Amino acid sequence: YLGVGAMVVGGLWALINLLGPVKRGIASGFAAYSSSNPDAGSLPRTELDMNMKWVLVCTGLSVIPIFAVYQIIVQQVAVSLTMAAIMLIAGFFFAAVAGYMAGLVGSSNNPISGVTIATLLFTSLLLLALLGTDSAVGPAAAIFVGAVVACAAAISGDTMQDLKAGYILGATPWRQQVAEFVGVIAAAFVMSPVLFLLQERYGIGTADGLAAPQATLMASVATGVFGSGLPWTMVQIGGVIAVLLIILDKTLEARGAEFRTPVLAVAVGIYLPIELSSSIFIGGIIAWIASRRLGSRQPAQTGLLFASGLITGEALIGILLALPIVLGQVSSVFSGDMFEVFAGTE
């Protein structure tokens, strides 16, 4: 819960820092295709984004199915409309924050956890006032709003990296943006069965299943707000810690220090299980030592690519191992039952 408070303050701090760039980006997007702009029709191919009007139309259309999902959950039109409005506003601003951070620094600096927790806490408090403490659907409804915002922030960071790479290669932005639409829709049909498969075999967020610290944190916040069990004192202390970290980080930045204390990174370390944060810490030390000893940044980039392969390989192997286990209804691919399945004797 210290991490919750730090995450909320960190997410809001990121939003405050980026209000100016977000405002300028929106204004330039509308101005690029304005009829009063004499250069609107003479932009080079590499500067042609999707028309902002079509972006708004697609955004409006996407709200309809999300509202329908909310309505299925809460069965109250007014509450579903409120949820959709929160999702739209928070998703817009936090997607802008996530996209800007990922485009400027990299995907590893995408503050998804911070913006999701901030949205979830605000949504839970608002739904608490609308539905009451005895609502059975309140926590789930809040998580559904937070989940949409989390997806928006994740896709925003990914899209910004794609557009940045496309700019370097000389791609046409609007074509990339259309491809992003197609990619998101196609991925939705692939991700669902994969997640169901992992849930069926391992369990997600359970004691003996796959670790899901962010999801566990979201569930704790939502149920804590509605069950009056959220330790607000710990949340407030976490917020104070975040404020102190921000002050320290700005001081180190002013002094040109090599090491910094980014508030969202520290907040993630507060709530992650020790077995995960200790591994991340060890990996960071290895990367730092390699970079210092070889005297260039290339080792860090090589380590990043190597680590990306490890992460991707581990995820793919987990899915491939889950397939025969679920289809063959056995406990392990290394058990005798699995060999009987392959031999056709079971």
Task: Give me the pLDDT at residue 346, please.
Answer: 47
Give the Cα separation of 24 and 124 in Å (integer). Answer: 31
Task: Give me the pLDDT at residue 241, please.
Answer: 94
Residue 142 clears pLDDT 80, i.e. is over it = yes
Task: Give me the pLDDT at residue 120, please.
Answer: 86
Residue 305 clears pLDDT 80, i.e. is over it = no
The band of 341, judged by pLDDT with boundaries at 50, 70 and 90, is: very low
Task: Give me the pLDDT at residue 27, please.
Answer: 77
Task: Give me the pLDDT at residue 345, please.
Answer: 45
CA angle, 170 then 174 then 180, to 5° = 100
Q: Provide DSSP, 121-165.
A: HHHHHHHHHHH-TT-SSHHHHHHHHHHHHHHHHHHHHHHHHHHHH
Instruction: Mean pLDDT check: name the lowest of 54-58, 136-140, 225-229.
Output: 225-229
Residues 65-90: what's their mean pLDDT? 89
In terms of Cβ atoms closer than 10 Å to its own Cβ (0-12, 13-18, 19+), residue 53 is exposed
Phi-psi group of 203: left, alpha or beta (phi > 0 → left; psi -120 to 50 → alpha; rest → beta): left
Number of alpha carbons in the 13 Å side-chain half-sphere of residue 107? 14
Strand partners, 210: 204
Tokens of 79: 């509450």
pTM of the model as a whole: 0.72
Residue 280 clears pLDDT 60, i.e. is over it = yes
Phi, psi of 333 (to 5 degrees): -70, -15
What share of the chain in percent tops pLDDT 70? 85
Helix (H, G, I), strand (E, B) or coil at 140: helix
Give the Cα separation of 79 and 90 in Å (integer). Answer: 16
More confident residue, 245 or 214: 245
Residue that is written with structure tokens 């509605």 in the block: 226
Task: Give me the pLDDT at residue 130, please.
Answer: 83
Residues 41-60: what's their mean pLDDT? 80
Task: Give me the pLDDT at residue 135, please.
Answer: 80
Number of alpha carbons in the 13 Å side-chain half-sphere of residue 36? 3
Q: How far apart are the first and last CA of the chain?
A: 48
Q: Which residues contact 67 (CB under 8 A, 6 or more apart)?
A: 80, 81, 83, 84
Q: Provide DSSP, 32-51.
A: HT-TT-TTTT---GGG-PPP
Residue 121 clears pLDDT 60, i.e. is over it = yes
What share of the chain in percent tops pLDDT 90? 8
Task: Give me the pLDDT at residue 179, please.
Answer: 92
More confident residue, 338 or 191: 191
Q: Which of 3-17, 28-42, 167-181, 269-283 has maximum average pLDDT?
A: 167-181
Phi-psi group of 68: left, alpha or beta (phi > 0 → left; psi -120 to 50 → alpha; rest → beta): alpha
Q: Which residues contact 239 (CB under 8 A, 6 or more apart)?
A: 5, 6, 8, 9
Residues 82-119: tens digit of each pLDDT:
889 988 888 888 887 777 767 665 666 677 777 788 88
Give the Cα separation of 328 and 316 in Å (integer). Answer: 19
Give the Cα separation of 278 and 273 in Å (integer). Answer: 9
Residues 236-250: what's their mean pLDDT? 93
The band of 126, judged by pLDDT with boundaries at 50, 70 and 90, is: confident
More confident residue, 48 or 100: 48
Residue that is written with structure tokens 């399945």 in the block: 341
Helix (H, G, I), strand (E, B) or coil at 204: strand
Alpha helices in 36-107 (DSSP H): 52-74, 77-104
